[in-house]
Structure formats: C-alpha cells, structure tokens
C-alpha cells in the first residue's frame, strides 16, 4: 500500500500494455459496506487492427458465458438488466476510452459475488474476459492485530475499512482504547490492486493486565445513519507470575498437608513442585497442588514452585515445618573417671519445636536448657558422690523421651566410721564397711595371733556390695571373754586404707541385736515375778485365816498335792529349777568352746534361738503363777 501521490501504477501498466491483444484489468477482490456503494475499476484492450465505430460492453454476474444466461448487471446497448440490479448499476467509465469501471449502489448481501466484463465491438468481435472481480459485502470493520503481542513490547493495531464509494467516505474512531494510547489516523490509502481503503493505527505498550481486553473500531458515514462496529480481543503474551502460594505451613507428624501453587501467565505455564532439586510433581496448569500424607520429620524443609513458559519463568518457596516429639536423647554413655578429673556429658536430641532438656540425678536437677537441642553437663572435679545413674529428659508439647547414662568415679578406699567389732552371744562379729571404686580387696588382720583372713575365705567371711559400699563381716566363735584386736585393710589400684576396728560392749550389742524381742521378754519376767509374789502372799494369808478352817469341806484354792492323773510325780523345786535353767540358757553340761570361724549375717531378723528364749520365759512365768 502507498499514498496516492502520483499517477496510479494500475493505469501506467494499462497504458504500457497496449499492443493489440484482448485483455482486461480489474481488482481480483473488492469490498464495500452494506447499504453503501462501490466502484469497481476496470480497463480492457483489444487488437489494434479492429477499429470499431462504437464500443459496447456488458457486465455479467457470477458467469462469463452468455449461453448460461447469467444475470446482466449492466448492458450499454439496451440498458436492460436483471431485476436485482435495476436502479443499482451504472457505468462510470468511457468504453470508447477502454474504461469499463462499474458502480453499484444500495448494496445488499445478495449482490456479493463475481463480476465479469464482455466487450462488444460489433459483429463477431465480442469477447468475454476471464478476468473478474469478486465483491464482498461487509458490515464490520477489520481490526488487524499482529500475530504476537508481547507484554512490554510496543505494538501497532490498525483498523481498515474499504473506501471505494465515490459518494460516501467513511470516518473511523476507536472504542475501548482508554489507557492504551492515542490513535493515529493515516487517512485514505490505495492498495496495489487499485482499490482504496481508510486506515487508523493505535500504538501502545501492552501489559499483562490488558490481556483479553476488548478493543473496538467504529465506522460512520457523514450525512447518513450508517454505523458499523468491529471488535477484537487482545491476546497478550506474558511470562508467568506466581499469584497463589501457601505461606509457611506447620503440621503435626503423621498428618496430611496440601501445598498449592497458582500462576498467571499467557500461554499457560508448566508448574513444577521441587525440593532439594528433585521434581515432586509437574503439570501444565494454572494451579497445582502437592499432597503430602502421613508426614514424617524427614519431609520438613523448603519446597519450591517453578512456573515457566516461552516468555519467562517465576518461582517461589514455602517452608513446611513438621512438628514432632523429641527423639530419644543421645548421650556419651557410661563415663569412667578418676576422682578429681573433669567430666563433660553432652546430651542431644531432635524435635520440633526444640525441647526443654534436663539432666538430673536422683530427682535432683543438675542442668537444664530451654528450646535447645543440646545440653552440656560439666563437672570440673568429680567426687565419689558424683558416681551413679543420671537421666537426660527431652520434652515439648508433643511428647517426652529420656535416656539414662552412668558416671563411674574411681577412687581410693575409704573405711567408714561405723566399722567395728561386737560380741553377739557366744561369738564376736567384726564389720568392715568400705566405700571404694573399683571394688577393694578387704582383709582382716589379727596381730596378736599373726593371722590374716580375706573375703575370699567364704567359710569365715561374708561379703556384700551395695552401690559403692563394700561390707565384709568376720565372725569369731568363743572369743567373747577375750576378744582379739582386729585390723581391717582395704586396697585397690588407687591406694590402701587400714583401720583397727573398735570393740563395743557385749550386753549393749546383745540387746541391740535382740531389740523389741528382748523388751518383751524382760517385761514378761517382771510380770511373772510380781504374780508369783502376790500368789505366795495370798496363799499364806488363807492358810493362817480361821475362816478357811471352818466347815466340813472348805474349797481348795491351791494344793501342792494336786497332780494330773498319769503324770509321774516331780517335785516343784525340780520343775522350777528346770525352767530356770532353760530361761538362763544353762545346760546339764556346759558347751565346748568352738574357736573356729563361722559365717554370720547380722543383717537378718532375730534367729530361731531368740524366739525359743521367749517361749522359755513364758513357761517360767506360768510355773511361777502356779
């Protein structure tokens, strides 16, 4: 297309082509608005040797062959035309000047079609040209949009309408262009085929928000009510922009969570969910959900959504925090240290949120931290009291876990102050209590007899361990009257300790051993003696009282002659003597002194001999009463 500023190329070609051949030149297609008019430019030629006096012509509709009786649009000889073209067609050109331009008015849709011209030079010199022009009857303007409109890149959109009616020229205006830019009207333009058009251009820089915007062009004709409108929706291409995304998500272990990502783009972008570079899910869609079921702590982390198309890409991330109870704390394990050394214990765990960590021993809190995953217990110089079992406890609002560990403090033996020797009935027991780690070797020395007995001799020494206290008990029989000196020695790899064991009184130790049973026995003896004295006095008073001598058969309250039938006679003195011997532990023959060593456990309950003694006391009391 170009502006009409010089002689039209169409007519130049016609003039240069005159050479005596049959031929016609007209636009292959032409358009016009309904109810307006159209002028179809036409030129024809014929051989030079033909010199007709008068040149006539005929326009046919939709067929070039007269034998097919096509509708006659215009006929210069008779002016007889088809009824569809009556009052609508006229010849604008001069056939003598080989100009066959045709004008049609009051256009209607049925007039759209092919138009053929036939030259009539008289006689047999008639020729129907195969060249033809196709008329298109329109009622909307044409809005021309580039094949690709990209956001951020300037674009030109044009509105073009045919202007082939000499009597009516169109006026163009834009609709819905607010915010897009100011239109520029270029005016009337001529096409290469010899037709004319009006054009208006609109320049602007599109944005993603303008995608789908409906832009219109309106055509009006002055001094008429004719008005035609055409619209086009803008298809603006732009890169993705993620517009929908979860914020940070918190979920409990074992639950289900859905992460959603939505992007605005044209064309639709490829959405991809990723974590640590691994693709979890992808699809070409406007939104994409990532479903995570039965959550585990391993799924805690950062998730990324990537949106991309041919014009760019965008990405965003979301943090997923899986809440769970602390794992079982991890500690150093059993620690062995020498007394005085520094010890550090690290307790660590994993949880979300971070836990409260506490280290305690025997319900005493030694160290604690809040919302930390590690706790360090430092003992600058361990002592024997630091030996034992410790617990590290981790807890948050979702649960609690604990781990135990031990600190073993090694130190030289310490002989405890409650170590001693004591007389127990006819034997002497020596107790040596030693606090030590590792376990000591304990020995009893009798310097006066140059004898040493250690705990390996189970026949004479009983040993047991409770925690860090190692107790050995040496039992000596028949040594009550002259107990020997006993020295306890304890030894381990850190040192040796010795102590001469003090001797405690026999009576005091015996009552301590008997305990409550001895108190009961003493009380029973006291009652028996009181009852015996009371009964003796009462019997004496009754014997001397005259009231008991009166009567034939006085009642007998007590008689020394009373016997149980079938029981051999036994003097009262003998019975009392036997009871007293049993009470006092006497025998018919005194026991032989056993100077050997035997095993005795002082920690047990009173022996059977103690209960036998109680029974004999009761029997003695009964005899006294009788």
The predicted pLDDT at position 185 comes to 63
Closest CA to 113 of 70, 158, 163, 68: 70
Tokens of 612: 């036998």
Tokens of 190: 């001529």
Name the CATH superfamily housing domain 330-410: Immunoglobulins (2.60.40.10)
> What is the mean pLDDT of the segment spanning 417-437?
89
Residue 80 has pLDDT above 80, yes or no: yes
Tell me which residue has tokens 């809040």: 370
Please state which of the ranges 12-21, 423-432, 477-486, 490-499 shows the lowest mean pLDDT. Answer: 12-21
The predicted pLDDT at position 365 comes to 95
> What is the mean pLDDT of the segment spanning 458-477?
88
> What is the mean pLDDT of the segment spanning 621-626?
38
Count CA atoms closer than 13 A to 328's CA, side-chain side: 3
Identify the H or E element spanning 15: helix 9-16
Q: Collapsing DSSP states into helix, strand and coil, what is residue 540? A: helix
Query: Which carries the bigger pLDDT value, residue 260 or residue 180?
Result: 260
Q: Got the DSSP string for 439-508?
A: PPEEEEEETTTTEEEETT-TTTEEEEEETTEEEEEEEEET-SSSPPP-EEEEEETTEEEEEEPPEEPHHH
Q: Note whether 189 and 210 are within 8 A (CB).
A: no
Residue 249 has pLDDT above 60, yes or no: yes
Distance separating alpha carbons of residues 353 and 250, to the nearest angstrom? 11
What are the b/e assignments for 469-499, b being 16+ CB within 10 Å?
A: ebbbbbbbbebeeebeebbbbbbbeeeebeb
> What is the mean pLDDT of the segment spanning 521-531?
75
Query: Which carries the bigger pLDDT value, residue 186 or residue 392?
Result: 392
Tokens of 477: 């029989």
Distance separating alpha carbons of residues 345 and 404, to the nearest angstrom? 12
Distance separating alpha carbons of residues 511 and 383, to the nearest angstrom? 38
Distance separating alpha carbons of residues 146 and 202, to the nearest angstrom? 12
Tell me which of 3.40.50.410, 3.30.70.2860, 3.90.480.20, 2.60.40.10 is the CATH number of domain 23-138.
Answer: 2.60.40.10
Indicate the class that CATH gives domain 239-322: mainly beta
Q: How many CB atoms lie within 10 A of CB 501?
A: 19
Residue 9 has pLDDT above 60, yes or no: no
Q: Collapsing DSSP states into helix, strand and coil, what is residue 67? A: helix
Distance separating alpha carbons of residues 445 and 432, to the nearest angstrom? 12
User: Considering the entire predicted model, what is its pTM?
Assistant: 0.58
Query: Tell me: the pLDDT tens digits for 372-381?
Result: 999 999 999 9
Give the residue range(s) of CATH 2.60.40.10 domains in the chain. Answer: 23-138, 142-234, 239-322, 330-410, 416-500
Query: Which carries the bigger pLDDT value, residue 419 or residue 2?
Result: 419
Query: Tell me: the pLDDT tens digits for 321-341?
Result: 999 999 999 997 778 999 999
* CA terminus-to-terminus distance, the chain: 157
Query: Which carries the bigger pLDDT value, residue 528 or residue 538?
Result: 528
Distance separating alpha carbons of residues 572 and 474, to the nearest angstrom? 45
What is the maximum alpha-carbon separation in the chain?
Answer: 209
Closest CA to 445 of 499, 494, 505, 503: 499
Please state which of the ranges 9-18, 92-101, 128-137, 510-519 shows the lowest mean pLDDT. Answer: 9-18
Residue 561 has pLDDT above 50, yes or no: no
The predicted pLDDT at position 525 comes to 80
Residue 448 has pLDDT above 80, yes or no: yes
Q: Note whether 361 and 347 are within 8 A (CB).
A: no
Q: Per-residue confidence at 52, pLDDT binned at 50, 70, 90?
A: confident
Q: Per-residue confidence at 479, pLDDT binned at 50, 70, 90?
A: low
Q: Note whether 147 and 232 are within 8 A (CB).
A: no
**Burial class of residue 608, CB neighbours in 10 A (0-12, 13-18, 19+):** exposed
User: How would you classify the pairing of strands 278-284 and 503-504?
Assistant: unpaired
> What is the mean pLDDT of the segment spanning 355-384?
93
Q: Note whether 135 and 111 are within 8 A (CB).
A: yes
Q: Which residues touch 416 (CB under 8 Å, ≥6 apart)?
A: 433, 434, 435, 469
Tokens of 420: 């001693």
Distance separating alpha carbons of residues 45 and 48, to the nearest angstrom? 9
Distance separating alpha carbons of residues 422 and 194, to the nearest angstrom? 143
Tokens of 468: 């860090």
Q: Residue 414 forms beta bridges with which residues?
A: 435
Query: Tell me: the pLDDT tens digits for 461-470?
Result: 889 988 889 9
The predicted pLDDT at position 186 comes to 67
Residue 109 has pLDDT above 70, yes or no: yes
Please state which of the ranges 190-194, 457-461, 474-478, 479-483 shows the lowest mean pLDDT. Answer: 479-483
Q: Per-residue confidence at 125, pLDDT binned at 50, 70, 90?
A: confident
Tokens of 35: 């109810």
Tokens of 430: 């020596």
> What is the mean pLDDT of the segment spanning 449-473?
87
Q: What is the average pLDDT value for the chain, to the nearest integer?
A: 81
The predicted pLDDT at position 517 comes to 54
Q: Which residues touch 188 (CB under 8 Å, ≥6 apart)?
A: 4, 163, 169, 196, 197, 198
* Architecture of the domain spanning 142-234: Sandwich (2.60)
Q: Which residues touch 5 (CB under 8 Å, ≥6 apart)?
A: none
The predicted pLDDT at position 603 comes to 37
Secondary structure of 74-142 in HEC code, one letter for each residue: EECCCCCCCHHHCCCEEECCCHHHCECCEEECCCCHHHCEEEEEEEECCCCCEEEEEEEEEEEEECCCE
The predicted pLDDT at position 505 comes to 67
Distance separating alpha carbons of residues 318 and 259, to the nearest angstrom? 8
Closest CA to 501 of 440, 446, 441, 427: 446
The predicted pLDDT at position 486 comes to 92
Residue 393 has pLDDT above 80, yes or no: yes
Tokens of 337: 């240290």
The CATH fold assigned to 416-500 is Immunoglobulin-like (2.60.40)
Q: Per-residue confidence at 591, pLDDT binned at 50, 70, 90?
A: very low
Q: How far lies 141's CA from each of 35, 211, 220, in Å?
A: 14, 22, 10
The predicted pLDDT at position 20 comes to 65
Q: Which residues touch 494 (CB under 8 Å, ≥6 apart)?
A: 338, 339, 410, 411, 412, 413
Distance separating alpha carbons of residues 161 and 231, to the nearest angstrom? 13
Query: Tell me: the pLDDT tens digits for 593-610?
Result: 333 333 333 333 333 343
């Amino acid at each position: 297309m170009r502006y009409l500023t010089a002689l039209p190329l169409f007519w130049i070609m016609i003039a240069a082509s005159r050479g005596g051949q049959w031929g016609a030149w007209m636009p292959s297609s032409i358009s016009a608005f309904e109810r307006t008019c159209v002028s179809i430019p036409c030129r024809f030629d014929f051989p030079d040797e033909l010199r007709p006096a008068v040149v006539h012509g005929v326009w046919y509709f939709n067929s070039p062959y007269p034998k097919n009786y096509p509708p006659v649009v215009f006929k210069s000889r008779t002016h007889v035309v088809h009824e569809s073209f009556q009052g609508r067609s006229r010849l604008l050109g001069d056939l003598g000047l080989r100009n066959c331009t045709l004008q049609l008015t009051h256009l209607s849709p049925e007039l759209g079609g092919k138009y053929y011209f036939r030259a009539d030079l008289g006689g047999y010199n008639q020729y129907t040209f195969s060249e033809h022009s196709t008329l298109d009857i329109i009622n909307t303007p044409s809005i021309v949009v580039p094949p690709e409109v990209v956001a951020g890149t300037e674009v030109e959109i044009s509105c073009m309408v045919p202007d082939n009616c000499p009597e009516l020229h169109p006026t163009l205006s834009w609709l819905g262009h607010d915010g897009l830019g100011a239109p520029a009207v270029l005016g009337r333009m001529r096409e290469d085929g010899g037709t004319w058009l009006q054009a208006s251009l609109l320049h602007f820089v599109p944005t993603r928000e303008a995608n789908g915007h409906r832009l219109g062009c309106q055509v009006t004709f002055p001094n008429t009510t004719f008005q035609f409108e055409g619209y086009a929706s803008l298809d603006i291409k732009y890169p993705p922009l993620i517009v929908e995304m979860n914020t940070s998500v918190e979920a409990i272990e074992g639950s289900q969570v859905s992460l959603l990502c939505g992007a605005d783009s044209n064309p639709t972008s490829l959405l991809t969910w990723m974590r640590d570079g691994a693709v979890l899910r992808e699809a070409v869609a406007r939104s994409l959900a990532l479903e995570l079921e039965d959550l585990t702590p391993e799924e805690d982390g950062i998730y990324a959504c990537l949106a991309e198309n041919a014009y760019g890409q965008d990405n965003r991330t979301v943090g997923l925090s899986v809440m769970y109870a602390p794992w079982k704390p991890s500690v150093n394990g059993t620690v062995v240290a020498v007394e005085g050394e520094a010890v550090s214990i690290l307790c660590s765990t994993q949880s979300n949120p971070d836990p409260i960590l506490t280290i305690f021993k025997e319900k005493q809190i030694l160290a604690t931290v809040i919302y930390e995953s590690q706790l360090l217990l430092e003992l600058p110089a361990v002592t024997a009291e630091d030996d034992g079992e410790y617990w590290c406890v981790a807890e948050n609002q979702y649960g609690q876990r604990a781990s135990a560990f031990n600190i073993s403090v090694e130190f030289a033996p310490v002989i405890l102050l409650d170590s001693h020797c004591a007389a127990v009935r006819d034997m002497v027991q020596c107790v040596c209590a030693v606090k030590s780690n590792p376990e000591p070797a304990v020995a009893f020395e009798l310097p006066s007899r140059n004898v040493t007995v250690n705990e390996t001799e189970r026949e004479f020494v009983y040993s047991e361990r409770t925690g860090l206290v190692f107790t050995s008990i040496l039992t000596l029989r028949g040594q009550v009257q002259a107990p020997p000196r006993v020295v306890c020695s304890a030894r381990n790899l850190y040192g040796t300790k010795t102590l001469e064991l003090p001797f405690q009184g026999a009576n005091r130790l015996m009552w301590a051993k008997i305990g409550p049973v001895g108190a009961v026995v003493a009380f029973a003896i006291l009652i028996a003696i009181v009852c015996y004295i009371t009964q003796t006095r009462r019997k004496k008073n009754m014997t001397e009282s005259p009231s008991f001598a009166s009567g034939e058969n006085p009642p007998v309250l007590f008689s020394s002659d009373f016997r149980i039938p079938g029981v051999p006679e036994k003097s009262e003195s003998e019975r009392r003597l036997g009871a007293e011997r049993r009470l006092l532990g006497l025998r018919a023959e005194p026991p032989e002194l056993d100077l050997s060593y035997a095993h005795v456990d002082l920690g047990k309950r009173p022996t059977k001999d103690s209960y036998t003694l109680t029974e004999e006391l009761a029997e003695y009391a009964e005899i006294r009463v009788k």
